[in-house]
Amino acid sequence: MLQHSIQLHSIDYVLLVTYFVFVLGIGFVLRRTVSGSKDFFESGRSLPAWICALGFIGANLGAQEVMGMAASGAKYGMMTSHFYWVGAVPAMVFVAIFMMPFYYGSKARSVPEYLKLRFDEKTRGFNALTFACMTIMSSGISMYALAKLLSAILGWNFHGCILVSGVIVLAYIFMGGLTSAIYNEVLQFFLIVFGFLPLVLLGLKDVGGWDGLVAKLVKPATDAGFAPDTWTHSWSHTGSAATNPMGVEWFGLAMGLGFVLSFGYWCTDFLVVQRAMAAKDMGAARRTPILAAVPKMFFPALVILPGLIAIALHSAGGSFQLPSKNGGLDYDMVVPTMLAHYFPTGMLGLGLTALMASFMSGMAGNVTAFNTVFTYDLYQGYIKKDGNDAHYLAVGRWTTVVGILASMAAAYAAASFNNIMDILQLVFAFVNAPLFATFLLGMFWKRTTGHGAFFGLIAGTVAAAIHHGLSLPHGAAAGIKGGWLGAVHVYPSEMAQNFWTAIFAWSTCFIATILISLLTRQKKTDEELGGLVYSLTSKIKERDARWWQRPALLGSIVLALAVVLNLLFW
């Protein structure tokens, strides 16, 4: 255990406090721009594409991402880049070009509301409810992780960390709504880049540049029983699940992660979609995910590389050593250990501020998505349908308070019952995996019916649960890891099991939705479905736009770059 390993000095605290002042200041200045619910929940649909784009990735750049990807980099090597170059980037281009016209172009104010317009009330209700619970759980986990980390490395008070982080996020969202959250995400984005970039540069210099790193990564690979270059290639060793540390083969990787999980997240999760829907016009909304994909593509250099450097240094047996946990290495400590190793006081304050910024942006993203879905889809949908705008604005503000309080409760739940958190996360994974099939069919096949969508989703969720119940990752005991129906198949790793659970859930939902739709009557007329389904929506003409404003062209460039990166690190 890395007990109180980092000593902060007054200069570090000065930086931290300065950051808090700016964060709250942004909320304070923006409070005057909020005059109605549209300003509070949708930023008045007024923001330029580049701000939405940085908010789009900022909201996703939570600490789980920053610390988790560094941990995966150390554990699995360059294969972690699949989360970016196979996972995120293609899905971001797809949502921009094909799905944004329906989200932004329809009158929907949220993703669940789109489901109501396209299908029916029950599909919307199911999605809104599960999504609301999921955002609270994620924000709670973020809070818990932050408090646990800070109390471990700095000796700060656990309760104090939860209270302070909660109150700051609450204050700036309460005052400035979504605009305040997005502005802070943009600020946090730059802070994370400036906080981690010197860490990577110093680390690279220390290991002797990229060539030195490649040479030093031979030992961790051969020690683990793999080919010497396993840690520095992304595809070369995916011919079989046994030849790489992730324990997945190329098909499970491309289908499970690249298609089902990534498209499910980037294309249907309101947390990110909300940022694009705040854009000032259709063109800006469609450019948002594509512009976001550009920095996203280069993030592996910022978040995966520290993991590679850390494991290289650790294996070399010098002064840099990762702490251990339960007989193995504590990979989650990669980033804090690197910060303590390379940053003197001063820069250490900047690094910790960046880390804290990533926790807060993850939390704020969840809370703004929660207050919108709760107010529009649950409160206006089921509790009070005919309130005036000021009423819904007030509800939104107080929902933010409730959301933060609920997140705090979730953080304490995570602290006291670790298993409950695992079970809940699992349930939500089951709910999320099939969702992309519902949206794909809803947007591109006008025959899809409300019953088809709803029962297809349920079937997909049940399929995910059954697959999980019947399979087990190698070396795990039956229970929370799977196999609770009796394990009939053992996967080489937990990740392989996750990918295949997602593939089964998606396929079941896809097939069930088609079959049930064919057997049930379409209750929506073609007029009602205009603007919601591809074949019934007039195509957007891009001829007047300049080349750099055309989503299809920009998207193609971004995809080509992603292909080049895949080939470079093949």
Partner 1 sequence: MHLDVRIPIGLLFVVFGAILAIFGLLSDPAIYQSHSLGLNINFAWGVVQIAFGAVMLWLAFRGRKAKAQISGGVRQ
| Residue among 8, 36, 46, 542 that touches partner 1 (CB under 8 A) | 46
Q: Which residues are 490's β-sheet partners?
A: 472
| Residue among 7, 13, 18, 298 that touches partner 1 (CB under 8 A) | 18
Dihedral Cα 186, 309, 84, 241, nearest 10 deg: -160
Q: In the complex with partner 1, which residue's Cβ is closer, 349 or 381?
A: 349
Q: Which two tokens stand for residue 230?
A: 């396993």
Q: Which two tokens stand for residue 336?
A: 């804090």
* Pairing verdict, β 328-329 and 324-325: antiparallel
- Residue 183 found at the interface with partner 1 (CB under 8 A): yes
- Residue 347 found at the interface with partner 1 (CB under 8 A): yes
Q: Using CB under 8 A, which of the segments 99-107, 182-190, 230-238, 538-546 binds partner 1?
A: 182-190
Least distance (Å) between residue 196 CB and partner 1:
12
C-alpha count within 13 angstroms, C-beta hemisphere, residue 383:
10
Q: In the complex with partner 1, which residue's Cβ is closer, 25 or 530?
A: 25
| Residue among 45, 122, 219, 341 that touches partner 1 (CB under 8 A) | 341
- Residue 313 found at the interface with partner 1 (CB under 8 A): no
- Residue 235 found at the interface with partner 1 (CB under 8 A): no
| 532 secondary structure, DSSP code | T
- Residue 417 found at the interface with partner 1 (CB under 8 A): no
| Residue among 7, 13, 17, 29 that touches partner 1 (CB under 8 A) | 29
Does residue 150 sit in helix, strand or coil? helix
- Residue 26 found at the interface with partner 1 (CB under 8 A): yes
| Residue among 59, 96, 134, 187 that touches partner 1 (CB under 8 A) | 187
- Residue 205 found at the interface with partner 1 (CB under 8 A): yes
| Residue among 165, 179, 399, 407 that touches partner 1 (CB under 8 A) | 179
117 vs 515: CA distance, rounded Å: 21
| Helical segments of 95-208, H only | 100-105, 111-118, 121-153, 158-207
Q: In the complex with partner 1, which residue's Cβ is closer, 39 or 377?
A: 39
Least distance (Å) between residue 301 CB and partner 1:
17
Least distance (Å) between residue 298 CB and partner 1:
17
144 vs 431: CA distance, rounded Å: 23
* Pairing verdict, β 471-473 and 489-491: parallel
Q: In the complex with partner 1, which residue's Cβ is closer, 25 or 475?
A: 25
Q: Which residues are 324's β-sheet partners?
A: 329
**Residues ≥6 apart with Cβ < 8 Å to 145:** 63, 64, 67, 359
Residues in contact with partner 1, shown as a per-residue x/- string from 49 to 88 under the rule CB under 8 A: --x-------------------------------------
Does residue 288 sit in helix, strand or coil? helix
Does residue 473 sit in helix, strand or coil? strand
547 vs 568: CA distance, rounded Å: 28
| Residue among 105, 198, 323, 531 that touches partner 1 (CB under 8 A) | 198
Element (H, E) at 353: helix 347-372
| Residue among 154, 202, 254, 559 that touches partner 1 (CB under 8 A) | 202
420 vs 417: CA distance, rounded Å: 6
- Residue 11 found at the interface with partner 1 (CB under 8 A): yes
Least distance (Å) between residue 18 CB and partner 1:
6
CB 33 within 8 A of CB 179: yes
420 vs 87: CA distance, rounded Å: 28
Q: In the complex with partner 1, which residue's Cβ is closer, 178 or 410?
A: 178
Least distance (Å) between residue 16 CB and partner 1:
11
Least distance (Å) between residue 40 CB and partner 1:
14
- Residue 15 found at the interface with partner 1 (CB under 8 A): yes
426 vs 374: CA distance, rounded Å: 22
Does residue 544 sit in helix, strand or coil? coil
- Residue 305 found at the interface with partner 1 (CB under 8 A): no
> Angle, nearest 10°, between helix axes 49-60 and 347-372?
100
557 vs 155: CA distance, rounded Å: 47
| Residue among 279, 350, 426, 453 that touches partner 1 (CB under 8 A) | 350
Least distance (Å) between residue 273 CB and partner 1:
21
- Residue 19 found at the interface with partner 1 (CB under 8 A): yes
Contact positions toward partner 1, by CB under 8 A?
A: 11, 14-15, 18-19, 22, 25-26, 29-30, 33, 46, 51, 179, 183, 186-187, 190-191, 194, 198, 202, 205-206, 341-347, 350
